[in-house]
Structure formats: C-alpha cells, structure tokens
Amino acid sequence: MHQPIPGVTILVKSGRVQRTTTTDRNGCYELSDLAAGSYRVTARLAGFVNATSDGVNILVRDVAHLDIAMRLSTICECVALGGTTLANQWDHADAVLHVRLAAPESQSTTPVDYYRHVVSVIAPLKMPADSVKTPVFALQNQRSGSAAPYDIGQEAVIFLRSSGSNGFVIASEVDGQDVVFLIQDGHIQGAPSFLSRYVGMALDTFLAEVRALPRGR
C-alpha cells in the first residue's frame, strides 16, 4: 500500500542548473520556472533508498508530472576498504581510474539499491589483473545516507572493487562515504571527509601522489 512521504528532499539537476525542494505533508512537491530541457530528478530521505529518474523532459510552457516511489533502506552493506589513508584505499582497491561520467544507460540490469554509472576512462591509475574492459560500469550504493548519483560529465578519480559481470562497485569507507575524488577546473573539488586534506589540491599534484603510492597490489 502506497503512503505519502513528507520531508523528502527533491533534487533536480541539468548541467550546472540545480534546484531543490521538499515534499509537503501530503507527499507532494512543486518546482516552477524550470527552463525547457532534460533533467535528472533524485529523491532522498534518511531511512530510504535514493530514487532517481533520468531524462525527465520539461517542454516550453508545459507542466510535467513525476511520481516517485521510494523503498525503505536495508542495512548498509558498504564495500569497506579497511583504512582511512590514501595508501590504504589504494592497497585494497581492485582498480583506480581517472574518469569522466557518461550518459546513463538503462538501469534494468542494475542490482537493487544501486545506481549504475557508465564511465569514460581518461587514464587508468591501477588496473585489475584482467585489465579494464569497455564500457566500464560503476555501481554506486544508493542506500540511506548515500550520495545522490554523480553528474553526467563529472570528472573524478574513483576507487573501485570488482563486481563480477556487473563491472565494479564504487568502494565505500567511513559511514558509507564513496572513495571518490571529484574534479573541477583542474583541482580536487570533493573528497570523502576522512581524506578532506586533498580538497583544493591541483589535479596534477594529486595524480602524482597517487602514482607514487607503493605498487604492493
């Protein structure tokens, strides 16, 4: 039986345009004056799995309706790497890639509670034994408290664990934080809190530090 959920954060994004609102006591939400275009809509609330709809089209002088169904979150089954230093993350990752996120494909084959990103590899920093096959899929945990799906076109350095035929799972560590370093204008824009010292560092400097890590695995 469906029940309205108040207090859900609704995040609407298209390129650099981002709007946010919250569902009311009846579980309803509204955003006005959105420019025509294609948007990604994500609903987030503690205790629930993030729900994302890609390719929501807004036409000129049109009203678009989007109903969002959310599921209660299970206990987080994060892929823990076992350490909070960059070297620990490196040792336990199966692959470390400098990537750009591409347009999403169908989510029909994605495991429950995950979002499947397609990534374009700019440079492989650490490769698994059987190398990286293209296209590369990276599964992002979407259980309660997880980050919303990353943006199309976002550049990042991501630490991954192998996930069989599903490609890779983005590794998680403290409080389920993704081991992902977001890049903007040639600098590290975002990082997990336990590695926040890298925020603001020039990308070339960060990549040099990653490449200098011991090749023990």
Query: Does residue 63 sit in the same domain as residue 157?
Result: no
End of a domain among 24, 46, 72?
72
Q: Is pLDDT larger for residue 65 or for residue 132?
A: 65
Round to whole Å and give the CA distance between 161 and 149.
18
pLDDT above 60 for 217: no
| Residue 22 belongs to domain spanning | 1-72
Query: Does residue 32 sit in the same domain as residue 65?
Result: yes
Is there a domain that residue 217 lies in? no
CATH classification at residue 154:
2.40.50
Round to whole Å and give the CA distance between 111 and 188.
30
Query: Does residue 200 sit in the same domain as residue 110?
Result: yes
Is there a domain that residue 78 lies in? no
For the stretch 157-201, pLDDT in tens is: 999 998 876 589 999 876 678 999 999 999 999 999 999 999 999
Round to whole Å and give the CA distance between 16 and 12.
11
Is there a domain that residue 79 lies in? no
Is there a domain that residue 185 lies in? yes
Reported pTM: 0.84
Mean pLDDT score, 2-16: 90
Query: Does residue 173 sit in the same domain as residue 107?
Result: yes
28: confidence class by pLDDT, cuts 50, 70, 90: very high
For the stretch 54-93, pLDDT in tens is: 989 988 777 888 999 998 987 655 555 557 899 999 998 9
